[in-house]
Structure 1
Amino acid sequence: MEKLSTSLDTSVSPGTLYPELHELHEEGVLEQQELVRTKVYDIGDSQVAREQLVESAQAHFMIGQILRDALRQLDT
């Protein structure tokens, strides 16, 4: 979790991450391999994963634009 939090520059908790991984597995985006005490996830459907990443990136970009515009208005 610490390495992922550092990579994303945000706090990531098991309660946030694992439900998302499970949902992506149920949707067929990720493949799951159960080990002794852990599960390993790999991308199962790269096209669906790509589409979801693009959609997420576009949404985050739009939020960034809205916040930037709001900050500009506050500065004037």
Structure 2
Amino acid sequence: MREDTTSTESVFDELSRMATTADQSNSRDTLEIGRETESDGGIERELDELIAHVDSVVPVDDITFDEDLVKENLDELLLLLIALHEETHGKELLSDLSHLFDATLSPGTVYPRLHELNEADILAMQAKVQTKEYSIEDEAYVQQAVEQTMVQHLSFGLLLYAFLTRL
């Protein structure tokens, strides 16, 4: 193991500590993450802060998201972005994905996912004059889905990191 790398255990401990500290100091519901900050920088500022927290723990120089990774986790990302906005439309979600994750997804990729999430009663859809506004209908499902994806990614990342230390 190289001397300049962080051990898998210390990364996991630090992430756990951050999650516990955030959970204890913040009594609001997980899905309400962006509701209080909309007027002071909004979603972009809040996501930048979250990425900065991860960047301070994970031993990498820059966090980037591969477009394939965004596509593989599209449902979870859409659900989180909708929760952050409280209510939003497809065009704004496409813009968020492009700006925040540098992913250029076609409407033919995003809109069918929104329709399927709506049909599964996970999202509520309200037809407006020229657009459809989406909001979270089933907060428990969203929290469970995001937590499951998070645990899978963390576990896989820690496994890869453990293998990396053996090189």
Report the TM-score when normalising by structure 1: 0.71
User: For residues 66 and 9 of structure 1, what CA distance do their matches in structure 2 show?
Assistant: 26
Task: Please tell me whether residue 33 in structure 1 is matched to residue 33 in structure 2.
Answer: no
| Structure 1 unaligned spans of 5+ | none
How far apart are 1:10 and its partner, in Å? 2.6
- Would you identify which runs of 4 or more consecutive aligned residues in structure 1 move more than 3 Å? 62-70
Amino acid corresponding to residue 133 of structure 2 in structure 1: V
Match of 2:103 in 1: 10
- In structure 2, which of residues 128, 136, 148 is the aligned counterpart of residue 55 of structure 1? 148
Tell me whether 3-12 or 37-46 shows the greater mean CA deviation: 3-12
Match of 2:138 in 1: 45
Q: Helix, strand or coil: the match of 1:12?
A: coil
User: For residues 58 and 64 of structure 1, what CA distance do their matches in structure 2 show?
Assistant: 10
Amino acid corresponding to residue 96 of structure 2 in structure 1: K
| Structure 2 unaligned spans of 5+ | 1-93
Count, aligned residues: 74
Of structures 1 and 2, the one scoring higher in RCO (CA 8 A, sep 6+) is 2
Q: 1:41–1:62: structure 2 CA closer, same or farther, 3 Å change rule?
A: same
User: For residues 159 and 104 of structure 2, what CA distance do their matches in structure 1 show?
Assistant: 23
User: For residues 17 and 40 of structure 1, what CA distance do their matches in structure 2 show?
Assistant: 14
Q: Over alpha carbons, which structure has the higher Rg?
A: 2
- In structure 2, which of residues 102, 110, 115 is the aligned counterpart of residue 22 of structure 1? 115
**Identity level (%):** 34
Q: 1:58–1:16: structure 2 CA closer, same or farther, 3 Å change rule?
A: farther
User: For residues 155 and 95 of structure 2, what CA distance do their matches in structure 1 show?
Assistant: 28
Structure in which a larger fraction of residues adopt strand: 1
Q: Helix, strand or coil: the match of 2:121?
A: coil
Amino acid corresponding to residue 53 of structure 1 in structure 2: V
